[in-house]
């Protein structure tokens, strides 16, 4: 691409918020240090509070000191911080947008930026819609260059609310200008799934129901809800993690090779997977295939922790799930009969994200006739380490002649020896380049809601599926174990687990 195409002004709503502090400023700093930020690039940070430029600089410095993967070097800091400008704006005040429009225009003239504008909504979802309309009203979208919108999660609370939001936003921005963030798609090893699958002749032939017995996807967290109780208690793990991150991982694993390595072709294939996922409609199906749980007080890493209902801003009688496990079936030629087991939860024993592919057993067990030969596993480790591990059987050295499960390991972190870029760095750079491959298109979001909505509705009925409990520090309720055991599987030990 032409380098001028990347020159841009980033208009950042929510510049004084938690996301900006923990993720966005550090991501911008890394992009700057790695030479990915265009030479003409300005950030207009917006917040409700009154801040001087100096205050804003301090705020950004604090953010980098706490969260950046690079140390602040004076020679980088100067070049970086001069791109930042703070403007106080109340999202509900039309006159503030007029002031913003004139500020941005003058800045673009001064910095010779040709009108490319990137609007990032790092604000509460209830504000997404008013902001987009005000941007239009104030003429901020009438620009000579491109305009793009980055929108944070959650995108809706149900299919209906997501559709309403989408209808509103698409009155102002075209679909190809909208970048819906799912930060899991920015993770190194999730992007690597395509390369593992489509650049290796020995994986692709095995990637189907003839050779694969089941696939497990885990995203476990040790943290509780922390200071996000008021958000989380209305949302729960199914909306917070499954509707987006977990289903996106399933699509990356299950999709067909795209016709071209282009955003639309890849997203078309992911959509086909979402369409093929068997919908659970009846209460019985949901009860059989989905487990929900909530943590009680327990012990984690040697320390006592409180239960979910004792957390700040959580209702005393809350029935919000902090854990979900589910069996997902993808009804197509490639995957018929292969269960995809997903689980995610808070206050679990370790923080880990990984995908484990369990291959079918050999048709005849010459070696262990009792059937105890370990199955071949391919482990895609996404967090804490980034790596791929292939587990297979080999002869135990010596005369005994017994069999030993061994592992061939590729550990990305230690092999490459770098501090791998964070998801937000890749995603911000992609938006600047106009590449929407790792953002969710509306039809993906819509289908994902259609998969989870009936489950939510069933849970909301008082006679619906019971909410199980688990002690903080355990791998969810016992029903999560039983979900696999009834199919003859078990959860494999997560890498991060001690």
Ligand X SMILES: O=C1O[C@H](COP(=O)(O)O)[C@@H](O)[C@H](O)[C@H]1O
Residue 11 or 380 with smaller CB distance to ligand X: 380
Residue 240 or 321 with smaller CB distance to ligand X: 240
Which of ligand NDP, ligand X, none does residue 219 bind to, with CB < 5 to 8 Å depending on kind? ligand X
- Minimum CB separation of residue 175 from ligand X in Å reads 23
Q: Which of these, 496, 497, 494, lies nearest to 217 by C-alpha position? A: 494
Residue 234 or 278 with smaller CB distance to ligand X: 234
Q: Which of these, 41, 16, 24, 18, lies nearest to 432 by C-alpha position? A: 41
- Minimum CB separation of residue 374 from ligand NDP in Å reads 38
Residues in the chain, total = 498
Is there a binding annotation on residue 153? yes
Is there a binding annotation on residue 61? no
Identify the residue whose tokens are 């019971």.
Answer: 466
Residue 243 or 429 with smaller CB distance to ligand X: 243
Which of ligand NDP, ligand X, none does residue 464 bind to, with CB < 5 to 8 Å depending on kind? none
Strands (E), 168-312: 178-180, 212-220, 290-296, 298-300, 303-305
From candidates 320, 353, 358, 458, binder to ligand X by CB under 6 A: 353
- Inter-residue contact 42 to 7 (CB < 8 Å): no
* 3-class DSSP assignment, residue 12: strand
* 3-class DSSP assignment, residue 327: strand
Q: Which of these, 360, 337, 145, 154, lies nearest to 241 by C-alpha position? A: 154
- Exposure pattern of 163-182 as b/e (b: 16+ CB <10 Å)? eebbeebeebbeeebbbbbb
Residue 16 or 116 with smaller CB distance to ligand NDP: 16
Question: What character string, x for contact with ligand X (CB under 6 A) and - otherwise, covers 370-399?
Answer: ------------------------------
Is there a binding annotation on residue 71? no
Q: Rule CB under 6 A: which of 193-222 touch ligand X? A: 219, 221
Is there a binding annotation on residue 46? no
Distance CA 165, CA 446 (A): 11
Stated as kind and residue range, the H or E segment containing 148 is strand 147-151
Identify the residue whose tokens are 């620009």.
Answer: 143
- Minimum CB separation of residue 121 from ligand NDP in Å reads 7
Q: How far is CA 178 from the centre of its chain?
A: 17
Is there a binding annotation on residue 464? no
Which of ligand NDP, ligand X, none does residue 215 bind to, with CB < 5 to 8 Å depending on kind? none
Which of ligand X, ligand NDP, none does residue 22 bind to, with CB < 5 to 8 Å depending on kind? ligand NDP
Alpha-carbon Rg for the chain in angstroms: 24
Two tokens at 74?
């004076």
Which of ligand X, ligand NDP, none does residue 125 bind to, with CB < 5 to 8 Å depending on kind? ligand NDP
- Minimum CB separation of residue 158 from ligand X in Å reads 17
- Exposure pattern of 473-489 as b/e (b: 16+ CB <10 Å)? bbbbbebbeebbeeeeb
Is there a binding annotation on residue 351? yes
Which of ligand NDP, ligand X, none does residue 48 bind to, with CB < 5 to 8 Å depending on kind? ligand NDP
- Minimum CB separation of residue 221 from ligand X in Å reads 6
Residue 227 or 259 with smaller CB distance to ligand NDP: 227
From candidates 152, 177, 233, 240, binder to ligand X by CB under 6 A: 240
Residue 146 or 383 with smaller CB distance to ligand X: 383
Which of ligand X, ligand NDP, none does residue 444 bind to, with CB < 5 to 8 Å depending on kind? none
Distance CA 148, CA 181 (A): 13
Is there a binding annotation on residue 14? yes
Which of ligand X, ligand NDP, none does residue 47 bind to, with CB < 5 to 8 Å depending on kind? ligand NDP
Give residues in contact with ligand NDP (CB under 6 A): 14-19, 22, 47-49, 89-92, 122-125, 152-154
Stated as kind and residue range, the H or E segment containing 378 is strand 377-383
Residue 23 or 40 with smaller CB distance to ligand X: 23
Is there a binding annotation on residue 221? yes
User: Which neighbouring-strand residues pair with 388?
Assistant: 380, 410
Residues forming the active site: 245
Q: Which of these, 291, 286, 325, lies nearest to 458 by C-alpha position? A: 286
Distance CA 27, CA 150 (A): 15
- Minimum CB separation of residue 27 from ligand X in Å reads 13
Distance CA 59, CA 10 (A): 18
Return the sign of the alpha-carbon dihedral for residues 14, 15, 18, 24. positive
Q: Does 350 bind ligand X (CB under 6 A)?
A: no
Q: Strands 298-300 and 387-395: what pairing?
A: unpaired
Distance CA 106, CA 239 (A): 42
- Cα 353-358-360 angle, rounded to 5 deg: 170
Is there a binding annotation on residue 240? yes
Is there a binding annotation on residue 19? yes
Binders of ligand X: how many residues, by CB under 6 A?
4
Annotation: binding site for NADP(+): 14-21, 48, 90-91, 153
Annotation: binding site: 14-21, 48, 90-91, 153, 183, 187, 221, 240, 346, 351
Residues that bind ligand X (CB under 6 A): 219, 221, 240, 353
Annotation: binding site for substrate: 183, 187, 221, 240, 346, 351
């Amino acid at each position: 691409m032409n380098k001028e195409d990347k020159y841009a002004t980033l208009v950042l709503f929510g510049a004084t918020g938690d996301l900006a502090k923990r993720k966005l400023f550090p991501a911008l700093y890394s992009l700057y240090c790695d030479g990915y930020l265009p030479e003409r690039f300005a950030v207009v940070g917006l917040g409700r509070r009154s801040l001087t430029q100096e205050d804003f600089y301090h705020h950004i410095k604090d953010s980098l000191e706490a969260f950046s993967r690079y140390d602040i070097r004076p020679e980088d800091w100067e070049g970086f911080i001069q791109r930042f400008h703070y403007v106080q704006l109340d999202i509900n005040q039309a006159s503030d947008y007029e002031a913003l429009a004139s500020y941005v225009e003058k800045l673009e003239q001064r910095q010779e930026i040709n009108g490319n504008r990137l609007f990032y909504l790092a604000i509460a979802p209830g504000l997404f819609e008013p902001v987009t309309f005000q941007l239009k009203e104030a003429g901020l979208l009438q620009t000579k260059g491109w305009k793009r919108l980055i929108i944070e999660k959650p995108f809706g609370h149900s299919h209906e609310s997501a559709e309403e939001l989408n209808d509103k936003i698409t009155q102002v921005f075209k679909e190809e200008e909208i970048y819906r963030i799912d930060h899991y798609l920015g993770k190194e090893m999730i992007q690597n799934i395509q390369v593992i699958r489509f650049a290796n002749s020995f994986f692709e032939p095995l990637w189907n129901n003839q050779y694969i017995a089941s696939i497990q996807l885990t995203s476990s967290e040790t943290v509780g809800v922390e200071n996000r109780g008021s958000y989380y208690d209305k949302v729960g793990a199914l909306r917070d993690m499954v509707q987006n991150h977990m289903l996106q991982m399933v699509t990356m694993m299950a999709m067909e090779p795209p016709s071209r390595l282009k955003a639309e072709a890849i997203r078309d294939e992911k959509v086909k997977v979402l369409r093929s996922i068997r919908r659970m409609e009846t209460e019985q199906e949901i009860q059989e295939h989905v487990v929900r749980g909530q943590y009680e007080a327990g012990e984690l890493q040697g320390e006592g922790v409180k239960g979910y209902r004792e957390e700040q801003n959580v209702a005393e009688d809350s029935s919000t799930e902090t854990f979900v496990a589910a069996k997902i079936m993808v009804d197509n030629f490639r995957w018929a009969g292969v269960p995809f087991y997903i689980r995610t939860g808070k206050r679990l024993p370790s923080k880990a994200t990984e995908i484990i592919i369990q291959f079918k057993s050999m048709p005849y067990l010459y070696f262990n006739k009792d059937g105890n030969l370990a199955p071949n596993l391919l482990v895609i480790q996404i967090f804490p380490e980034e790596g791929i591990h292939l587990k297979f059987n080999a002869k135990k050295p010596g005369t005994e002649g017994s069999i030993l499960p061994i592992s061939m390991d590729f550990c990305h972190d230690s092999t490459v020896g770098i501090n791998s870029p964070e998801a937000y760095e890749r995603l911000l750079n992609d938006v600047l380049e106009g590449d929407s491959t790792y953002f969710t298109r509306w039809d993906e979001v819509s289908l994902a809601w259609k998969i989870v909505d009936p489950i939510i509705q069933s849970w909301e009925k008082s006679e619906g599926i019971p909410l199980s409990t688990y002690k903080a520090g355990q791998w969810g309720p016992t029903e999560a174990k039983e979900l696999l055991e009834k199919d003859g599987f078990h959860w494999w030990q997560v890498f991060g687990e001690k």
